[in-house]
Amino acid sequence: MSQASRILLSLVLGLAIGVVLAARVPVAVEPTIAVAGPVGTAWLNALQMTIIPLVVSLLVTGVAATAEAAQAGRLAARAIALYVGFLAFSATLAAVLTPLFLDLVPLPAASAASLRAALTGVEQPAAAPALGAFIAGVVPTNIVKAAVDNAFLSLIIFTLVFAFAIMRINREGRSLLVAFFTALRDTMLVVIDWVLWIAPLGVFALALVVGAKAGGGAFGALVHYMLTVSAVGFVMSLFAYPVAVIGGRVSLARYARAVLPSQAVAISTQSSIGSLPAMLEGARELGVPVTTAGVTLPLAVALFRATGPAMNLAVAIYVAHWFGVTLSPVVLAIGVVVATLTSLGSVSLPGTISFVSAIAPIASVIGAPLAPLGLLVAVETVPDIMRTLGNVMWDVATTTLLHRRGGGEALSAQEPIDDA
């Protein structure tokens, strides 16, 4: 059984036992919560303590990897520019669709209230500052204080400026700093791997408390969450078809046939890297030469996760909606920017780790509490299938687009265009 499956099983068992205790042995609820609550909180704290060093190191190494890839040639530079544009589109789509879906199919008020009461240690979100005060506070006066206060937007801005500055210094200094942050990143990945190794215990404790306090409504609320977030990813995935058809100038049927094997691999493995051979074969069937696909597809797997910003922002918006946080257009726009930026650093991580490192900064800047992420990470297995499915569809679609619209030095001038 995979680690993700063990975590999901722990969630189901914890909720079920908590519901049964509340219904059959109500006198045992308080003693159980007194034991399980601190265990779940301690695990959640361990998860949160890794976020800031992980986000900082991922952003620095992500910028370094992107800059290095862009220097590989015109095709790589054009691909990266295209990926960043589509990542911004992905986040913008979530800012529009998630509130719409929550209005069309809202989370039942009773379930939301019971879940809010069940999650311990969740602070009431503060009111959003005025626009002028917010803009003035974006640039940190003290980066250490920004980290202590979980001021993720200020922290991200400083880290990006710092990372781009690293790219402008001499080679020796640049290599030294990139090596340092790479080592920091790898160390934090080991730490978070240890934290996730005991995740079945932590998630079981959290779920036990939620089940005992919220009852059977917790199951329905989690299903509603998974369907809402997956629906946003599904719509984002569908946009790969017009990108391939209009941008890549191939027929819809031809693209659908070519991408089908990689979709099957993505569903079964939940791995974009594992789907790479099938994606290369699909690109070949679409007439993309290996000189182009051999550059753009590995680059896409390393740097481009199209559904990431959409589904990450959808999670943060869902949590904010769950806890009654009002999201103005300005706050949503800030969420779009942070969702786009954080996706650049987390694309090469396993789904469970990227869930925490990418969503926590977004949730923080829009005012959503972080505590529910410890519970939601347990059901990430289901949305992660949609994430991977959409990613491979977009990887093949953008590779076709880059080829048809001029693949730089990797293109063959004699390559025929499919106008079907």
Least confident of 269-278, 321-330, 407-416: 407-416
> What's the pLDDT at 198?
87
Contact 304, 314 (CB under 8 A): no
**Is it the case that residue 411 has pLDDT exceeding 60?**
no
User: Which DSSP symbol is given to 290?
Assistant: H
Helix (H) / strand (E) element for 167: namely none
> What's the pLDDT at 416?
41
Percent of residues, the chain, with pLDDT higher than 70: 86
**Is it the case that residue 70 has pLDDT exceeding 80?**
no
Rounded Cα gap, residues 63 and 184, in angstroms:
15
> What's the pLDDT at 94?
95
Which residue reads 């991580």 in tokens?
349
Rounded Cα gap, residues 38 and 28, in angstroms:
16
Helix (H) / strand (E) element for 276: namely helix 276-285
- CB-count exposure of residue 27 (10 Å: 0-12, 13-18, 19+): exposed
What pLDDT digit, counting tens, does each position of 191-249 carry?
888 888 888 888 888 888 888 877 777 777 888 899 999 999 999 999 999 999 998 89
Calculate mean pLDDT across residues 404-417: 48
Residue 216: other Cβ atoms inside 10 A? 17
What pLDDT digit, counting tens, does each position of 253-278 carry?
999 999 999 888 888 777 777 788 88
Catalogue all structural domains in the chain, each as residue range(s) with its CATH number. 3-410 (1.10.3860)
> What's the pLDDT at 137?
62
DSSP-assigned states of every residue in 91-113: HHHHHHHHHHHHHHSPPPHHHHH
Separation in Å, CA 286 to CA 75, 166, 246, 353, 406? 18, 40, 14, 34, 15
What pLDDT digit, counting tens, does each position of 7-44 carry?
888 888 888 888 888 888 888 888 888 888 888 888 88
> What's the pLDDT at 245?
93
**Is it the case that residue 409 has pLDDT exceeding 70?**
no
Calculate mean pLDDT across residues 113-118: 71
> What's the pLDDT at 415?
40
Structure tokens, 205: 């404790």
Residue 246: other Cβ atoms inside 10 A? 11
> How high does pLDDT run on average in the chain?
82
> What's the pLDDT at 238?
95
Calculate mean pLDDT across residues 166-173: 88
Contact 312, 342 (CB under 8 A): yes
- Of 63-67, 133-137, 219-223, give the range with the top mean pLDDT: 219-223
Q: What is the pTM of this model?
A: 0.81
